[in-house]
C-alpha cells in the first residue's frame, strides 16, 4: 500500500501563498483516531510572537496568521549589562515592552536542548526564562519547538544552516532589506508555529465538513 507523505516545510505546503490543499491521507489518519469531538476551530487571525532567546542577544518576531502569514515586525534585544542579572533584566524589560505593544495571542519559543557547555546551557536557560516570563502579562498560549523541528518546517531539512534559514524566511515573507541572524531565527520559530497551527486548522475544517 502506498504511503502518503506529510508536507515537511512551509515552502512545500505553500502556506505563505494561502494554499489550502491538505493530503487526503492526513484526513484519513485524523478520522481513524480516537472518536473525540473535534475542538473548536482556532480564530481566523492570530498574532504570534516568536522568540529566540540568548543571554547576550534575544531575537524576536511578530507575524499574523490569516489567508496567508503576514510579517509585522522583527529585531533583536541586545543585553549589554555588566552582569548576567543585569542582562536578564534587560531581556525581561525588552520582551515585556514588545508584548505590551503588539499583544500576541500565542508565543512560540525554542525548546531547551542539551548544550556541550554546562555554563552556556545555564545562561541560555535563564535568558529563556526571562524572555518567556515577560510575556505572561498578556496571558498568551505558549508553544515550544525543537531547533531541528523549526528548520524542517521552514527549509525542509533539520540540518539546515543559518544562511538557508535566513533565505527561506525572506522568500516566505517576501522581505527585503537587512535581516539579522537572531531576528531570522525568531521569524523561523514563528513561521514553524504558524505552519503547525494552520495545518491543524485545515484538518479540523476538512474533518468537520466530512462529518456533515
Q: Is 96 a catalytic residue?
A: no
What per-residue confidence (pLDDT) applies to 22? 41
Could you identify the residue written with the cell 524566511? 169
Angle CA 137–142–148, to nearest 5: 140
Angstrom distance (rounded) from CA 167 to CA 147: 17
pLDDT of residue 16: 42
Question: Given this model, what pLDDT does residue 85 score?
Answer: 96
Q: Which domains does the chain have, with CATH numbers?
A: 41-211 (3.30.420.10)
Among residues 64, 96, 106, 182, the one annotated as catalytic is 182
Q: Clarify whether 185 is annotated catalytic.
A: no
Structure confidence at residue 180 (pLDDT)? 92
pTM: 0.75
Q: pLDDT tens for residues 163-181?
A: 999 999 999 999 988 899 9
User: Which is the catalytic residue, given 52, 64, 96, 185?
Assistant: 52
Q: What is the pLDDT of residues 116-131, one digit of tens each?
A: 788 888 899 999 999 9
- Which secondary-structure segment (H or E) carries 107? strand 106-110
Strand, helix or coil for residue 128:
helix
Structure-model confidence comparison of residues 33 and 60, the more confident one: 60
Is the pLDDT confidence value at 37 over 90?
no
83 φ, ψ to 5°?
A: -115, 165
- CB-CB contact of 138 with 106 (8 Å): no
C-alpha cell at 100: 505590551
- Contact in structure between 126 and 53 (CB atoms under 8 Å): no
User: What's the grid cell of residue 111?
Assistant: 525548546
**H or E element that contains 71:** strand 70-78
pLDDT at residue 34 tops 80: no
Q: Which residue out of 39, 110, 149, 185 is catalytically annotated?
A: 110
Amino acid at each position: 500500500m502506498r504511503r502518503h507523505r506529510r508536507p515537511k516545510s512551509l515552502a512545500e505546503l505553500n502556506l505563505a501563498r494561502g494554499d489550502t490543499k491538505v493530503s487526503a491521507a492526513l484526513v484519513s489518519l485524523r478520522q481513524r483516531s480516537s472518536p473525540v469531538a473535534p475542538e473548536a476551530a482556532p480564530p481566523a487571525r492570530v498574532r504570534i510572537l516568536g522568540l529566540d532567546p540568548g543571554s547576550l542577544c534575544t531575537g524576536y518576531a511578530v507575524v499574523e496568521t490569516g489567508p496567508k502569514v503576514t510579517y509585522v515586525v522583527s529585531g533583536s534585544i541586545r543585553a549589554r549589562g555588566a552582569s548576567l542579572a543585569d542582562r536578564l533584566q534587560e531581556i525581561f524589560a525588552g520582551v515585556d515592552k514588545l508584548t505590551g505593544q503588539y499583544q500576541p495571542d500565542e508565543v512560540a519559543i525554542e525548546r531547551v536542548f542539551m548544550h556541550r557547555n554546562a555554563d552556556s546551557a545555564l545562561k541560555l536557560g535563564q535568558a529563556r526564562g526571562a524572555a518567556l516570563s515577560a510575556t505572561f502579562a498578556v496571558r498568551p498560549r505558549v508553544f515550544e519547538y525543537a531547533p531541528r523541528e523549526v528548520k524542517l518546517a521552514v527549509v525542509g531539512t533539520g540540518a539546515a544552516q543559518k544562511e538557508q534559514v535566513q533565505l527561506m524566511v525572506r522568500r516566505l515573507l517576501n522581505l527585503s532589506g537587512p535581516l539579522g541572524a537572531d531576528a531570522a531565527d525568531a521569524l523561523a520559530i514563528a513561521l514553524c508555529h504558524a505552519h503547525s497551527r494552520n495545518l491543524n486548522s485545515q484538518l479540523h475544517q476538512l474533518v468537520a465538513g466530512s462529518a456533515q
